């Protein structure tokens, strides 16, 4: 039997420290040997929650199955782990000390197959691992990550285009993860609005931000999805801090009414995530007469974000706007008059790419315009992720790329990180992939002219001016 014991003190509340450690599927962020982890059981974390943790052992890995066997919120937690080689009991005790938290961590390993006789040979290595793990936990809880920056290898991958595009796959996510720092900030006082929250990336984002304690306003189109969305959220958090808003975001009248409701509620917004979207292979117009890709993917987030500006602006802590765009936009250049495609020349992926390019440029414009209001605005693209949207709009693409697609949580990771990480508000007006600012132009020929750029918001406002609700509100336009 080997007993390891380490102690650290961190300037965080016991509640934060406890919650971060209890979230054992994030153990790979700080433990010296853990490479991956996942929650096996359903429901919020508590007594009986099970996890699988993959740990490095020399040149190979082993899988350890853990269960929480004692759970005393904010005070102590005990986990029992089992694998082929040993059983381990981790006891972690949290105590308040002068506005800091003292963490005492004890791990008792009991070896199988007579391996106990060899303990003396690996005792030193185990002790070293224990020290490194607790140092990792201390760093994670101190949460002092540097502002996001682009890796030199990403710059050269993007310069060669094809290697940059290869990073859209799950391998890109894996590669990125090797460089990430832990995210231990909780979102208890944060109000986050997410559009398209019932499916794919929006759902993965909502679940993760609910787990982090955020108060959520989730915008969905179909009221029939409300029940299933609420029960999925109940599986990750016991707290009920969710408001559901129903709106068809391809209709500006509905976007307008939604923003009126949110403004009347008056609750400040800390993070707005413009995620709702779809790729339409065939041409159709909305009841308001707009081509639907343009309406849903560009005009709608433009109106929503602009109208919600009063709830985002002027807070002590910066508000964040996160626009979900797409790697597809790398193929298109912003030309305002081409944003609305005509029926006879319609091409779904192109209309989609143009609208996402427009939203990327709008991100940069808002970032500059709203910096004085303490609003940071960034765009992200998720790479290629296996979601219901991809399955229905791009079935052949899905079939071909199935083995390299990210899962929804991997695709949503950068949205979650931009919303949650303390350091993510240190940059504004950037396009992110896998937590790194990346170039908005893979091809030089897709760089828009300064005239098109400065024309974009005028062009979008002009489209809105044709609508009834806009009359009288024109002078408020940002």
Ligand X SMILES: NC(=O)c1ccc[n+]([C@@H]2O[C@H](COP(=O)([O-])OP(=O)(O)OC[C@H]3O[C@@H](n4cnc5c(N)ncnc54)[C@H](OP(=O)(O)O)[C@@H]3O)[C@@H](O)[C@H]2O)c1
Active site residue ranges = 352
Cβ proximity to ligand X: between 226 and 239 the closer is: 226
Give the residue, chosen from 26, 221, 354, 430, that forms a contact with ligand X under the rule CB under 6 A: 221
- Residue 471 DSSP label: T
381 binds ligand X (CB under 6 A): yes
Q: What is the DSSP string of 337-374?
A: GGSS--GGG--HHHHHHHHHHHHHHHHHHHHHHHGGGT
Give the residue, chosen from 200, 358, 429, 437, that forms a contact with ligand X under the rule CB under 6 A: 200
415 binds ligand X (CB under 6 A): no
Cβ proximity to ligand X: between 33 and 323 the closer is: 323
Cβ proximity to ligand X: between 170 and 381 the closer is: 381
| Angle between helices 450-465 and 348-370 in degrees, nearest 10 | 100
237 binds ligand X (CB under 6 A): no
Compute the least distance from the CB of residue 225 to ligand X, in Å. Answer: 6
| Rg of the chain over all Cα atoms, to the nearest angstrom | 24
2 binds ligand X (CB under 6 A): no
Cβ proximity to ligand X: between 142 and 226 the closer is: 226
Q: Number of residues in contact with ligand X, rule: CB under 6 A?
A: 27
Angle at 250 between CA 244 and CA 252, to 5 degrees: 90
222 binds ligand X (CB under 6 A): yes
411 binds ligand X (CB under 6 A): yes
Cβ proximity to ligand X: between 187 and 390 the closer is: 390
The Cβ-side half-sphere exposure at 303, using a 13 Å CA radius, reads 30
- Residue 435 DSSP label: T
Chain residues 301-340 in contact with ligand X, contact rule CB under 6 A: 324, 326
Instruction: Please give the Cα distance from 208 to 365 (Å, whole number).
Output: 29
Chain residues 265-294 in contact with ligand X, contact rule CB under 6 A: 275-278
202 binds ligand X (CB under 6 A): yes
The Cβ-side half-sphere exposure at 22, using a 13 Å CA radius, reads 26
All residues at 6 or more sequence positions from 156 whose CB lies less than 8 Å from its CB, including other chains: 163
**Rounded to whole angstroms, what are the CA distances from 429 to 81, 159, 174, 320, 401?**
45, 20, 25, 11, 31
385 binds ligand X (CB under 6 A): yes
Compute the least distance from the CB of residue 401 to ligand X, in Å. Answer: 9
Give the residue, chosen from 81, 301, 382, 429, that forms a contact with ligand X under the rule CB under 6 A: 382
Tokens of 473: 């509100």
User: What is the binding site for ligand X (CB under 6 A)?
Assistant: 196, 198-202, 221-222, 248-250, 275-278, 296, 324, 326, 381-382, 384-385, 387-390, 411
């Amino acid at each position: 039997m080997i007993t390891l014991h380490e102690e650290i003190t961190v300037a965080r509340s016991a509640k934060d420290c406890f919650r971060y450690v209890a979230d054992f599927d994030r153990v790979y962020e700080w433990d010296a040997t853990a490479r991956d982890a996942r929650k096996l059981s359903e429901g919020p974390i508590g007594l009986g929650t099970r996890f699988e943790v993959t740990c490095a052992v020399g040149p190979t890995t082993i899988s350890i199955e853990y269960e929480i066997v004692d759970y005393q919120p904010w005070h102590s937690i005990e986990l029992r782990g089992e694998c082929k080689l040993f059983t381990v009991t981790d006891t972690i005790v949290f105590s308040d000390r002068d506005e800091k938290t003292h963490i005492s961590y004890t791990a008792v390993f009991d070896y199988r197959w007579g391996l106990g006789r060899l303990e003396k040979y690996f005792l030193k290595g185990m002790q070293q691992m224990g020290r490194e793990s607790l140092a990792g936990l201390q760093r994670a809880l101190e949460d002092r990550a540097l502002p996001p920056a682009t890796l030199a290898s990403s710059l050269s991958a993007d310069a060669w285009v094809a290697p940059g595009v290869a990073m859209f796959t799950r391998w890109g996510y894996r590669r990125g993860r090797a460089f990430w720092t832990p995210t231990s900030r909780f979102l208890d006082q944060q109000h986050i609005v997410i559009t398209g929250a019932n499916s794919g990336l929006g759902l993965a984002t909502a679940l993760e931000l609910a787990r982090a304690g955020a108060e959520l306003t989730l915008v969905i189109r179909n009221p029939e999805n409300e029940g299933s969305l609420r029960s999925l959220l109940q599986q990750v958090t016991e707290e009920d801090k969710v408001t559901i808003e129903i709106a068809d975001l391809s209709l500006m009248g509905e976007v307008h009414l939604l923003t009126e409701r949110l403004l009347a509620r008056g609750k400040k917004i800390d993070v707005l995530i413009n995620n709702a979207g779809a790729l339409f292979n065939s041409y159709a117009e909305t009841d308001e007469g707009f081509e639907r890709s343009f309406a849903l993917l560009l005009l709608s987030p433009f109106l929503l974000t602009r109208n919600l500006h009063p709830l985002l602006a002027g807070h002590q802590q910066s508000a964040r706007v996160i626009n979900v765009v797409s790697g597809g936009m790398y193929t298109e250049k912003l030309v305002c008059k081409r944003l609305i495609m005509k029926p006879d020349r319609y091409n779904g992926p192109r209309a989609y790419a143009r609208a996402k390019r427009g939203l990327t440029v709008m991100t940069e414009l808002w970032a500059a315009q709203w910096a004085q209001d303490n609003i940071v605005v960034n765009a992200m693209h998720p790479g290629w992720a296996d979601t219901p949207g991809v399955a229905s709009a791009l079935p052949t693409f899905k079939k071909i790329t199935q083995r390299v697609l990210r899962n929804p949580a991997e695709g949503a990771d950068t949205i979650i990180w931009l919303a949650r990480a303390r350091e993510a508000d240190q940059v504004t007006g950037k396009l992110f992939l896998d937590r790194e600012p990346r170039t908005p132009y893979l091809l030089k020929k897709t760089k828009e002219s300064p005239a098109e750029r400065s024309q974009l918001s005028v062009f979008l406002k002009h489209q809105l001016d044709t609508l009834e609700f806009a009359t009288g509100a024109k002078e408020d336009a940002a």
